[in-house]
Structures are given as C-alpha cells and as structure tokens.
Amino acid sequence: CALINALGEGNRWERAEAAFQEMLAQGLEPNTITCTALITALRQGCQWDKAEAAFKEMLARGLKPTLITYNTMLALFESSGEWEKAETLFRQMHQKGMRPNSNSFRTLISALRKGEQWGKVEDVLQLMREAGERLEDGTLDVYITALVKRGDKERAKALLEETKHEVRAYVSTYHTLLKAFQESGEWKQAEDFVQQMRDEHERLDQRTYEILIAILGECRQWERLDETFQQMCKEGHRIEEDTYNELITTLGNGGQWERAETVFKNMQGMQVKPTAVTYRCRLRSLQQGEQLDKAAAVLCEMREMGFDTQTEITAS
C-alpha cells in the first residue's frame, strides 16, 4: 500500500498499477486501503476509466469504501466532467450510511457547477447547510451564482445578508448579483444593493462603480450617474482611459453630449491622457448631439496634436 501511495504521489500510475497486479499474482488479497491507493494513483494520472474500473472491482470484492475512497471518486468524476456519476455516487454514500464531509459537498458542487446544473447546485448547497457544514467564501460564490442563474436575485441578495456574519463574500460575488440587476435593467435595486455593499465594506471597489455607472447609463438615470461618478472620483479611484471612453460613449449614445464633455474635462484634469479612441468617442457624442461646430473644433484640436483626422472622420 505504501509503495502504491508513493508511486501515485509521483504521478507514476503505470508502476502503481503494476505493483497492484504483482500483489495479486503473489496471492495477496487487497484491502480497502490498497484499492483506494490504486484508485488515487490512477486518478492523479488522469486515467479515469481505469480508476472507475478499479473502484467497481473493489466493490465486487465486497470491500467497503471509506470516506476517502468516495471523495477520491467524486474528485475523479468532477475532473472528468461527469456530473451525473458524481451525483449518483453521492446518493449512494447516503444510502450506505456514509456521512459526507465538507470536501464531499464541495467536490459535488464543483462537478454540478461545471455541468451548469444550477438547480442541483442549489439543492446540494441547501443540504450542506442543513448538515451543519459551514459555507466558505468560494462555496457562497457558487451558491449566489446558482441563484442568479435561476433568476432568483432577491433570494441571492437575502442570502448575502443572512451569511454576512458567517462568511465574508468575495467582491466578485457581489459583482455577479450586480450584473444580474444590470441584465434586468433594475437600476434602483442595483443602487440599493450597492448601498448594502458600502455598509459592509465601507469603501467600494472601482469595478463596482463601473458596473453601477453602466447600469445607470443604460437606464438613462443621468443625474444618478453624475452623482455616482463624482463619488467614485471623490474616493480617489484611479480611473483609466478605458473607463472614461466607455462613459463618454454611454453619455453620447443617450444624447448627453454636454455631460460627455464634462467627463472629458475631468479626464484632462485627472491627467489621464486621451488617445485617438477617446477623441473618436467624443466626436461620436457630439455628432449624435448634432453639435457639428463643436465636432469640427475637436477635429482641429486633434490635427494640432498630430492625429490622423481623416482616419478618425472615417472611423467616427
């Protein structure tokens, strides 16, 4: 068993398999530990079919799998993308009276997530909580994603509130829910949710501001957008050129050319150097606002700065 374990850890599954066969040839009967060591070696060598066959042979010999054996097989099915087999094996564990641990739950959840079985993910996560297993930050992220995928944003929001003293959610977990509000155009709910984030994190991260600004722009909440952008600047976030370009484009598409010009001035005041892309966004904004004289002035400015204005006229 020790030899098979060592070979498995060295990713030498062929030698581990040969050692197991030699043991059988010598008339030695394998036990649960030996079989589990072989299965582990085969899994580590990405020999999915051989590992599954070894597990079935173990059962045929009347050997009882341990929790380690089950978790090894769950990990195998998770790696091979066979969520149905992982789910069946997990169910068999319950039927055999084997209590899963946190590793069992996490591995099954990962397998189901890879298979985009969000309803099943939610069911297993609920079962995990009922079993008294503590949610970890990564597990909570999967739980929130599952709820969002099923369209249950309010439940996802409530879950974050319920678990805030139990586990600290990833910032990306908040972004997942925030983007769901963006997709459904629920700007007010997005604002309320961002306020909840602010209450818990004190200072919002830049990506949160960017998503909220995009939502407000898409929903044409221009005054709210102004306030949010000002707050973002006030908190000292370093706003990059791409963010300015996106904001100018959003405002221009909404007919808010004056606001777009204000953003451009802010960009200059923050000493962020505008590129040809920035000027292109600005030109489009002015053209959409039918500010042709101002657009012509921008072209002159660009020419003085050495930009190829003919190319920009064609592009814009």
Write out pLDDT tens, residues 92-151: 998 988 999 989 999 999 999 899 898 898 899 888 888 888 877 678 888 888 888 888
The 8 Å CB, 24+ separation contacts for 200-206 are 200/164, 201/171, 203/235, 204/232, 204/235, 205/171, 206/232, 206/237, 206/238, 206/239
Say what the pLDDT of residue 211 is: 94
Per residue in 228-260, pLDDT tens?
Answer: 999 998 888 889 999 999 999 999 999 999 999
Say what the pLDDT of residue 204 is: 87
Say what the pLDDT of residue 149 is: 85
Say what the pLDDT of residue 10 is: 45
Say what the pLDDT of residue 7 is: 44
Q: Which amino acid, one-letter code, is at 283?
A: L
pLDDT under 70 in the chain at which residues?
Answer: 1-11, 137, 202, 309-316
Say what the pLDDT of residue 196 is: 84
Per residue in 133-143, pLDDT tens?
Answer: 887 767 888 88
Say what the pLDDT of residue 122 is: 86
State the SS3 of 197-243.
HHHHHCCCCHHHHHHHHHHHHHCCCHHHHHHHHHHHHHCCCCCCHHH
Which two tokens mark 285? 């904004």
pTM: 0.70
CA separation (Å) from 247 to 33, 256, 267?
61, 11, 11
Say what the pLDDT of residue 238 is: 87
